[in-house]
Amino acid sequence: MSAPSFTAPALTALCAAALVTVAGSARAADPPVTDPTTAPAAPAAAPAAPATPGASPDAAAPSTGAGEPASGAAADEAEEADDDEKPETGSDGAKEEKPASAVFAPATAAAPPVAEEPNPDDGLRGTHQEHWAATIGGRFGYIPSTGYDPFSEDNGFGQVSLGLGRTLMAMDEFSTAVWLLWDWGAAESTARGAETALSAHRFTAGLEGRYHLLRRLYFFARVAPGALRSEATLSDAGAGVERKAEGWAFATDLSGGAAFEFAGENRGKSRLPRGWLSVDGGYGFTTSSTLEFVAEPESGAPARLEPIDLGDLAMSGGFFRIAASATF
Amino acid sequence: MNKLWCLSILLAGCGGRPAIWDSSYSPQQAVGLRSSVAVVDSGENRVLILSSPAPLALSTDAVGVGLNVATIKASPDGKQLFVLSRGVQPRRYTTDQRPRLTVIDTEGTPREASRYEFTDPLSGLVLDPEMQWAIAYVTPGDSRSVRNPNEINLIDLQNPDAAPIPMTIQSGGGSPRSFLFTDELSVPNGDPRRFLIVQTEHEVILVDLLDAASGQPEQLRMELPHNQGGAVGTPAQVVFHNAVVDAEPPVPSEIAVRATADSSVLLLALDTPANLEHAFDLKPNLLEVGGVPSTIEFVNTNAGVRLLALVGQKAALVDPLTSNSVQVNLPTAFKAVTRVTDDVAGADGGDVALLWSDQAATVGLWNLGASSTASHGLDKLEVGTTVSAVLDVPGDSFPTYKILQSKQGDFFVLDLATQQTSPMVTNGRAFSVSPSPDGMRLWAYLPGSMDFASINLADLHATSLTTERAISGVFEIGRADETLPDRSMVVLHQSASDLAVTVLDGLAPDSANTRFYSGLIYEGVTQ
């Protein structure tokens, strides 16, 4: 087993979430020229330079990685690069890096020039596995709480999910990540003719364990404790005012799912953004908060207006989420 | 992906909420009870029982009743609520609810005490003041393809497990218009008994309640005679008195029927039967009172029991045994009489009658023990306005007080002892007035306004009060624990979609010391 490769302290990095998001966007527009393995290759359509007699091969082609031998025919190499599912580890678990896609012909004086392979696959999980991630999606919950009845004619509760995460560490196919997640949703209905509304903000910090079945496909399980803020309104015809009930509750999501990378370079060391689609489902638990509706001060409510108690609201229930993520 | 979206929609659509959240609320009937106020929540087929367990506090309980409530009534003692419902009409399935009468005990935790079911919808309900019987009957508003308008259901309230007794009033063509339960009346040849007197268009029917619980009660029908115009009379009023056995000669129990447009009063005596297998014979007699009376009443005079009939500016005192009539001139054309014998001192030898009229600004206080042949003992009191109703003050604190209501909206407190009236001027607005159950104060409110008042009967001080929402009812209630002297004032505000109340201290009401409760229609829906 190889030692796990730790990235920069993720929690510290998550504190700079907003900055990273901006930086990630900017980076996606920059040409990836910092890594030798990702150095821009000559366009395939560009004519190769004619071989110079007596010149060394190194002088005729860019480096493909330290000590890596040049491979055979360019066509074969391209085929291998497309095969994203071949085993990537050796018998000892260490990464067995494949020869980078060679774009050079053997150093023979008579060899014809060969076109360079663009974005050669390095066979690494790399940023397929270790990355920052920003996600947006939809969360669909089933809230059986009786306290939810005044706000919806059924038990469904839709939310928008936003999240920012970072891989904490990776070891072979396994990795862990942390997330900051925000789910927001709202519902409107009537309760015996009175207009009602509910909005809920679920703030959670998630710890996620992943298993990469493929470089572009991984499964994960996540636990995400946090807090839920609920804000409900009730149009009180008797008092002639709109009442509000607000509360905080402890919340924890337990979920599992899968993510599939649908866009991005094959090369593990690519720093270009990647696009993912994920689906997860599980159970969201929250403690109960009391739906005690009170009127706002200066709202014209009758003096000494007593609250309306509609019981307890617990936004607990099963859910699933569909999300699109960008990693970088 | 499409499958995922379908799954999400399916998941979101799973489960529903109780139907109560989708039911509406509209202003409904409300009645005051001893320690609570009952309000029908027809959208949910239940009754909300509002009580006040502590000063300014409010507690709401919901009790389910039958579907489609037709009417509710409080028992005379204010401890039970009677709810008559029509059920599902028309019934198409055996599971469709039948019409029913639900009796709810409202003391302590409200609960259903008993239930009576009927085969057809009924909307009429009459309660016996002595709480022995109740009558549920069909009204023209009860839609039936075929209905028997003479059908009533007699309910034995003393035996809650007994099924209602269906019976058809043996009318000669009319149908019941009103019902009257008599006190217990002595009969010559049997046990004393109570009667249910049913008035139809042209008859009165006496239903003997002595053995009613054991089966079909006996009915005695008496058609009214033709009046002076040749038309068959219509009953307008029925009065009764028990037998006076120590009189000489003894006076049997009697029932008198006043008919519209008739100067004669039909007297029915429960006389000695010709057939001794019977308890009595109903002996009719027509008493001429000298004109069409506006009201009649049996009174005790210094000469014995007399039938008092007010005819214009005269009073006819008729001896039921001899049919002899004495005409007494009155200072005013009184139209109504209220017997106040028990409320005044020095009424030995006869009754004291309060005479009043909605067309005269005076009332008369007539001591009939003083004379039965002249208006001796009749005191005339100027009250400054006409009187449309006379209210008793409950309790023992102010037994000599009567509340006189006028059509103009003003009302007066009349002290029979001092024969003084205290006006309460309302600027012509039609205030609704009701005495508190403990008889210590009056409550007056203007429906639809935010103004009401408390009048302390001890010093007749009127305290003006206001609420912050329109008033639809005012009720003073006590605590469930009858030993507690505290009382609360519950002011009802019924809007188009909510029920709210303002609670005040019933003993020391103050607009600055209230609590406002709304959203009462949500009671019980989250449990």
- Residues of chain B contacting A303 with CB distance shorter than 8 Å: 468, 514, 516
| Per-residue pLDDT tens over the stretch A110-119 | 556 666 666 7
Work out the minimum CA distance from B78 to partner chain A, whole angstroms. 27
- Contact status, residue A216 vs residue A254, Cβ threshold 8 Å: no
- Residues of chain B contacting A189 with CB distance shorter than 8 Å: 21
B159 CB contacts (<8 Å, ≥6 apart)? Answer: B213
| Per-residue pLDDT tens over the stretch A179-210 | 999 999 999 999 999 999 999 999 999 999 99
Q: Is some CB atom of chain A closer than 8 A to the CB atom of B249?
A: no
- The fraction of chain B above a pLDDT of 70, given in percent, is 94
Exposed/middle/buried for residue B44 (C-beta within 10 Å: 0-12, 13-18, 19+): buried
Q: Is some CB atom of chain B closer than 8 A to the CB atom of A156?
A: yes
CATH assignment, B292-429: 2.130.10.10
| CB-based contact A308 B499, cutoff 8 Å | no
Helix, strand and coil in chain A, % to nearest 5: 15, 45, 40
Given this model, what pLDDT does residue A223 score?
98
E strand or H helix at B73? strand B69-74
Which neighbouring-strand residues pair with B258? B237, B265
Given this model, what pLDDT does residue B149 score?
83
d(CA A95, CA A90): 6
Which candidate in B48, B50, B469, B498 is best for mutational testing of the A interface (most A CBs within 10 A)? B498
- Contact status, residue A250 vs residue A277, Cβ threshold 8 Å: no
- Residues of chain A contacting B14 with CB distance shorter than 8 Å: 142, 154-156
Given this model, what pLDDT does residue B150 score?
87
- Contact status, residue A152 vs residue A190, Cβ threshold 8 Å: no
d(CA B295, CA B287): 14
- Residues of chain A contacting B495 with CB distance shorter than 8 Å: 237-238
Q: Is some CB atom of chain A closer than 8 A to the CB atom of B18?
A: yes
CA distances from B92 to B89, B96, B100, B385 (A): 8, 7, 17, 57
- Residues of chain A contacting B469 with CB distance shorter than 8 Å: 238-240, 302
pLDDT bracket for residue B375 (50, 70, 90): low
Given this model, what pLDDT does residue B527 score?
57
Mind giving me the DSSP string for A298-310?
TS-PPTTBPPEEE
Average pLDDT of the segment spanning B230-243? 92
| Per-residue pLDDT tens over the stretch A234-243 | 999 999 999 9
| CB-based contact A236 B23, cutoff 8 Å | no
Given this model, what pLDDT does residue A209 score?
97
Average pLDDT of the segment spanning A214-242? 95
Q: Which residue among B12, B25, B502 places its CB closest to the CB of A140?
A: B12
Q: Is some CB atom of chain B closer than 8 A to the CB atom of A189?
A: yes
- Residues of chain B contacting A304 with CB distance shorter than 8 Å: 514-516
Q: Is some CB atom of chain A closer than 8 A to the CB atom of B19?
A: no
d(CA B238, CA B379): 27
Given this model, what pLDDT does residue A308 score?
94
Identity (one letter) of the amino acid at B465? L
Average pLDDT of the segment spanning B78-107? 92
Q: Omega of the bond prior to A36 within 30 degrees of 0, cis?
A: no
Cα–Cα–Cα angle for A268, A274, A278, rounded to 5 degrees: 110
**Strand pairing of B46-51 and B133-137?**
unpaired
pLDDT bracket for residue B111 (50, 70, 90): very high
CATH assignment, A127-327: 2.40.160.20
E strand or H helix at B51? strand B46-51
d(CA B490, CA B503): 5
Work out the minimum CA distance from B494 to partner chain A, whole angstroms. 7
Six-digit token string for B419: 């024969």
Given this model, what pLDDT does residue A287 score?
97
d(CA A126, CA B303): 121
Given this model, what pLDDT does residue B231 score?
85
| Per-residue pLDDT tens over the stretch B256-310 | 999 998 999 999 999 999 988 889 999 999 999 989 999 999 999 888 899 999 9
Task: Pick the residue from chain B with its C-alpha nearest to A293.
Answer: B519
Work out the minimum CA distance from A190 to partner chain B, whole angstroms. 7
d(CA A147, CA A292): 11
Given this model, what pLDDT does residue B335 score?
94
Report the greatest alpha carbon distance in chain A. 100
Residue A20: is its pLDDT beyond 70? no
d(CA B160, CA B162): 5
Pick from B439, B443, B486, B472: which is nearest to B458 by CA? B439
Task: Pick the residue from chain A with its C-alpha nearest to B2.
Answer: A322
A223 CB contacts (<8 Å, ≥6 apart)? Answer: A206, A207, A252, A253, A254
Q: Is some CB atom of chain A closer than 8 A to the CB atom of B3?
A: no
Residue A181, SS3? strand
| CB-based contact A154 B12, cutoff 8 Å | yes
Identity (one letter) of the amino acid at A8? A
- pTM listed for this prediction: 0.80
Q: Is some CB atom of chain B closer than 8 A to the CB atom of A311?
A: yes
Residue A249: is its pLDDT beyond 70? yes
| Per-residue pLDDT tens over the stretch B402-461 | 999 888 778 889 998 888 888 888 776 778 899 998 899 999 998 899 989 999 999 999
Residue B345: is its pLDDT beyond 90? no
- Contact status, residue B198 vs residue B168, Cβ threshold 8 Å: no
Work out the minimum CA distance from B136 to partner chain A, whole angstroms. 32
DSSP state of B162: S
Q: Is some CB atom of chain A closer than 8 A to the CB atom of B51?
A: no
Six-digit token string for B376: 């001796």
Q: Which residue among A142, A149, A236 places its CB closest to the CB of B18?
A: A149
Which neighbouring-strand residues pair with A290? A312
CA distances from B158 to A67, B64, B128, B184, B420 (A): 108, 23, 11, 16, 43
Identity (one letter) of the amino acid at B1? M
Residue A230: is its pLDDT beyond 90? yes
Tell me what the pLDDT averaged over chain A comes to.
75
d(CA A232, CA A291): 8
pLDDT bracket for residue B62 (50, 70, 90): very high
- Contact status, residue A96 vs residue A86, Cβ threshold 8 Å: no
Cα–Cα–Cα angle for B488, B489, B494, rounded to 5 degrees: 135
Instruction: Give the lowest-confidence range in A283-287, A288-292, B381-385.
Output: B381-385
d(CA B17, CA B22): 9
Tell me what the pLDDT averaged over chain B comes to.
88
Work out the minimum CA distance from A150 to partner chain B, whole angstroms. 7
Six-digit token string for A47: 């004519």
| CB-based contact B13 A193, cutoff 8 Å | no
Domain chopping of chain A, boundaries? 42-118, 127-327
Pick from A62, A61, A56, A57: which is nearest to A36 by CA? A62
| CB-based contact A154 B14, cutoff 8 Å | yes
Q: Is some CB atom of chain B closer than 8 A to the CB atom of A130?
A: no
Q: Is some CB atom of chain A closer than 8 A to the CB atom of B39?
A: no
Chain B segment 103-132 residues within 8 A of A by beta carbon are none
- Residues of chain A contacting B514 with CB distance shorter than 8 Å: 303-304
Average pLDDT of the segment spanning B4-25? 69
Q: Is some CB atom of chain A closer than 8 A to the CB atom of B23?
A: yes
Given this model, what pLDDT does residue B160 score?
87
DSSP state of A62: -
Q: Which residue among A279, A291, A306 places its CB closest to the CB of B517?
A: A306
Given this model, what pLDDT does residue A326 score?
97
DSSP state of B21: G
- Residues of chain B contacting A150 with CB distance shorter than 8 Å: 21
pLDDT bracket for residue A13 (50, 70, 90): very low
Given this model, what pLDDT does residue B384 score?
79
pLDDT bracket for residue B197 (50, 70, 90): very high
| Per-residue pLDDT tens over the stretch B470-488 | 999 999 999 988 888 899 9
- Contact status, residue B486 vs residue B504, Cβ threshold 8 Å: no
d(CA B238, CA B255): 7
Domain chopping of chain B, boundaries? 177-203+223-288, 292-429
Residue B138: is its pLDDT beyond 80? yes
Q: Is some CB atom of chain A closer than 8 A to the CB atom of B517?
A: yes
CA dihedral A252→A258→A262→A265, nearest 10 degrees, is 90
Q: Which backbone phi and psi does A12 adopt, to 5 degrees? A: -65, -40
Which is more confident, A35 or B128? B128
DSSP state of A95: B
Given this model, what pLDDT does residue A84 score?
43
Q: Which residue among B12, B17, B521 places its CB closest to the CB of A149?
A: B17
